[in-house]
Amino acid sequence: MLALANKIVIVTGASSGIGRATAKLFAEEGAKLVVAARRQAELDALVAEISDTDGTAVALAGDVRDEAYAKALVDLALEKFGGLDIAFNNAGAVGVMAPLPDMVPAAWHETMDINLTSAFLGAKHQIPAMLERGGGSLIFTSSFVGYTAGVPGMAAHAAAKAGSIGLTQVLAAEYGPKGVRVNALMPGGTDTPSATFKTPESRAFVENLHALKRVAEPEEIARAALFLASDASSFTTGSALFADGGISITRT
């Protein structure tokens, strides 16, 4: 039995990295997908790949900072597939890095909007659809940054990612009684296009921060997302799940 047989799922940030790997894994596990990001061509390529392996996916391009887009993704899931069971709110970005006295409010707001307001807007429209189905699983991609690590220059990113854990806890308490589980996923350093370790030196530095002395492939984070999405985690809610190679506990 496939882990997500006939489950209807929204994956944001699906054009690249962790979101793309997760969409592919969820499709292999039987999910029907609505995939989301700004870049239409990358989403179309993903949908084609999924269709080639007999999976089911539709794409809608847009910006997760826009409430109308959050609603449109849910409407598409309802129209095309008849409901919504799972949402992986994963779109995010490092955002603007600067020492705090140098950070202008517009840069702060931009980083908060992509990493935290997007989670609020997604959940706002996804929860009612899940309640119609009698439950569901909501996942936010958070980070060790802002939870177990203070990385200089990343104040806005850290505040946003830490904020998503607060959001997770409140929504888990509010909607647990109605069958909706809500969890945060905490990747460690992961080899994706937006990873900050671009030079061999910076990569070696980041790898060494992890107990496993390497960074993750996106597919490894996707498997943790699958756990949170599926009934394998049926008694897990309100959690911040580490899939971080031990970066949170390592003092090199």
Site string for ligand NAP, 133-152 (x = CB under 6 A): --------x-x---------
User: Which range touches ligand NAP (CB under 6 A), out of 14-22, 46-54, 148-156, 224-232?
Assistant: 14-22
Nearer to ligand NAP, 76 or 131 (CB): 76
How far apart CA 251 and CA 64 sit, in angstroms, is 36
Q: Please, what is the minimum distance in Å from the beta carbon of residue 177 to ligand NAP? A: 28
Q: Which of 50, 70, 87, 114 binds ligand NAP (CB under 6 A)?
A: 114
Task: Identify the residue whose tokens are 């990001």.
Answer: 37
DSSP β-ladder status, 86-89 and 240-243:
unpaired
Nearer to ligand NAP, 67 or 135 (CB): 67
Binding to ligand NAP by residue 222, rule CB under 6 A? no
Q: Strand pairing partners for 61?
A: 37
Helix (H) or strand (E) holding 30: none
Q: Please, what is the minimum distance in Å from the beta carbon of residue 150 to ligand NAP? A: 14
Helix (H) or strand (E) holding 33: strand 32-37
Which tokens hold the place of 230? 């599926």
How far apart CA 91 and CA 52 sit, in angstroms, is 25
Q: Strand pairing partners for 11?
A: 35, 88
> Residue 38 carries which side chain, given as an amino acid letter?
R
Site string for ligand NAP, 180-219 (x = CB under 6 A): -------x-xx-xxxx------------------------
Positions in the binding site for ligand NAP (CB under 6 A) = 13-19, 37-39, 42, 63-65, 90-93, 114, 141, 143, 187, 189-190, 192-195
